[in-house]
Structures are given as C-alpha cells and as structure tokens.
Amino acid sequence: MNASISVVCFKSKTLANGENPLMLQVNKNGKRKYKSLGISVNQNHWDFKKNRPKPTCPDGEYIQQIILNKVTELQKQVLNYGADNQNFTLNKLLNGSSNQVKEVKVGEFFNKLISEFGSSGKVGNRRVYKDALNTVKAFSKGNLNFTFADIDVNWLNRFENWMRANKNKETSMSLRLRTLRSAYNKAIEEKAAYKINYPFNEFKISKFNTKTSKRAITKAEIQKIIKVNLSKEKESVQLARDIFIFSYLCSGINFTDIANLQPDNISGNQMQYIRQKTGKKINVLLIPDTIKIIEKYSIATPQTGHIFPILDKRIHKTAQQKRNRIHKVLGRTGKGLKRIAELCKITTNLSTYVARHSFATVLKNSGVSIALISEALGHSALSTTQIYLDSFENKQFNEAMKHLI
C-alpha cells in the first residue's frame, strides 16, 4: 500500500532552454513511475545526492517550495487511500481520479454550506453553521485562511479553552464543536479534506455536560395556570397562557410547530402535523380544552392561514421571515409566562419547554410508559424512542392523555 515519493532531475534529457526537467518519482511494490513536475533546472544547480536545488541555484527556494507542495500532496493522498483501505495504482496516484482530494480553506467551505442551507430554506441549519463560523473566526482573530488539516487535537483543545475563557456554556461549546465536526465530515465526503487528518476520533465531544436540568410543574400548578383570571392582562399574556396549555395538552408540541399549525392540520378531534425538527408525522387527540383554544383564534385564521396569531401567510412568506417572527413572538410569550407565574405564585421559571416537560413528567408519574412519552419530546435517546412511538397504536396514546388534568 505504501509508496515512496521523490523528485529527480533527468540529466539524460535536455530541454530547449538548456535545462533538465524535474520529475516526480514514485515507487510502489517494486514498480516505478515518473511524471513531469512542470519545472526545470540547470543540472549544475542540482544536488543529485540530496535531490534538491543547490544553495546557489537561482530561484532555488521557489523550486524547493513547489517540490515540497507536490510531494506533500501525493503523500497525503497515499495516507488517505490507506485510511479508506483503498488500493491504488501509480497511474491513479500521479494522474488523479475522482477520489483525489483538493483541500479547501475552512472559511470558504463553511460559507459554501451556509449559502446552500440558505438556498434550500434550511434557516435553522444556516444559523447554526454561521454561529459556529463566527466563533471560529473570533478564536482565530479573523483568519479563516486555513485548511481542515490545520484543525488537529491541539487546535481543538486550544479552541475549547478559549471558549471556556470567554464564559461559553457547555451546551454552546458542544454545539459549536459538533457543527465543526459535521463540517469536517462533509468536507471529507466532498473530497475537500483528508480523512487521515480527522481529529474527532481522539477529541471527544461527548465529554461536555449538555444535559439540561429537568424542569416540570405539578398538575395543581397546571390547574392554577388554567384558572387564573387574565381578563385585565395584555393580549400577549393571554396568548402565552393559551400556548402553554395547548402545548401541555397536545403531547408537548413545541412553539415552532404551534406557530406553523394550519386548518388542514385539524380534522374533527384529531390533529396531525409534521415536526419541523425531525420531519416525523405526529398524531394528537384534541380534548375539549384544546378545541376551545383553537376556536378562540378561528376568526382570524382564514386571513392569516394559521391557527394561532403568530404567523401570517400574507406577511411571513420566506423561511427567514417566519423564523424572525417566531423568535419575536417567543420572546413575548416568555415575558407573558413570567407574568403568569407571578400571578399564580409559581416559583418555576415558566417557558414553553416547561410545558413540554410537564406533559412528560405528569404522564410518567401517572404510570404511563416512558417509551411513549419522555424521549419523544427530544430528551435523551430520541431516535430510539421514535422507533417505539412509530409502533404504538393511537388508542394507547389517547388513553394516556386522560391522565393530564
């Protein structure tokens, strides 16, 4: 599998300019192959013992740099073939192939991915990759003109230490590094980076503590939120209560999915929608309390195209416009829930996440199967739980919903 690579000066061949061509020489399994390097030198300026230009050679440093770059490139290709357990011929190595790697700068590759995510409407991915790139840019003091090969374990350790020094949270550091790892993997797939240099087999991202502390409120506190008088409060506070209760009673549906709900998602007492995050189809039984919330906002639905007064099809048309609007209303909802917590004397910091987790916790405490609820909301082992969820019949889930209030 290994091959030796060097550059030799052909004394036996003299070019029209009186110089001799420099040739790449590759040896493998007793076979030898030559290929012109594209440059020549006067043999009097070549050290044949060391196979390099003499110190007195005009443009010697320039010639030596070309030699070094080409030899290094071929050596990386040999290592890459080895990492992929691929055999190769001398012709394949010297003449290139579809497997040939052409290293790309990290900044250039990230920006390509960001542009592709934007074009395909994947606004969330675009933001995550852009945030990661900005963090790397800040760490490298604005310099993104380096390749993935420069990102080794030492680089990653320094990057981690820099993020810690800048008070980044564990979850943020984990996300930035997972995004960087994902970009590195994509670069390898697209032959823009060498697999042999991949540092994440040694640098483990799993060491970061990314478990969010579990937050849930009791059934009694849920009842307080349902019954609290909000007639003198702002509409945003009333909407916050409706969103919180709707999420709790509808299998912990998250805020983005609530915002995207349309009349077509409702059929009688059943709600069907596609999760924005996973692309999975979700079926939920609508009980009288949730139907009442839907009916409350039905007057505006024909105009806006959405059940809740968050998105408006006449205004929010692009993925970015929708995302900006959802982010804005989510902020208002958080403030509204804070006010509700004050009125209900609930010490927990209320959020839409609390509604989701409360749904899971109340059912769990009622004896409902964990496989049916917890991880379905995006907690640990979501992929495994999703397999379970796909196998459950709707009547099992509908029966479980009776435990909520």
Neighbour-count burial of 286, counting CB atoms closer than 10 A to its CB (0-12 exposed, 13-18 middle, 19+ buried): buried
Beta-carbon count within 10 A of 278 CB? 12
Grade residue 385 by pLDDT with cuts at 50, 70 and 90: very low
Distance separating alpha carbons of residues 320 and 328, to the nearest angstrom: 12
Q: What whole-number percentage of the chain has pLDDT above 70?
A: 86
- pTM for the predicted model, two decimal places: 0.57
- The pLDDT value recorded for residue 277 is 76
In tens, the pLDDT along 178-208 reads 999 999 999 988 888 887 778 998 899 988 8
Packing angle of the helix pair 153-165, 170-189 (nearest 10 deg): 150
The predicted structure's pLDDT at residue 379: 41
Q: How confident is the model at residue 20 (pLDDT cuts 50, 70, 90)?
A: confident
Give the pLDDT score at 260: 94
pLDDT at 378: 42
Average pLDDT, the chain: 84
Give the strands of the sheet with 270-274, arranged side by side. Answer: 266-267, 270-274, 281-285
Closest among 15, 14, 34, 32 to 24, alpha carbons compared: 34
Which range (53-67, 83-97, 122-136, 296-310) has the least confidence? 83-97
- The domain spans of the chain are 4-95, 106-207, 219-403
- The Cα–Cα gap between 294 and 59 comes to 78
Q: Are 274 and 280 in contact (CB under 8 A)?
A: yes
CATH superfamily label, 219-403: Intergrase catalytic core (1.10.443.10)
Phi and psi at 28, nearest 5°, equal: -155, 125
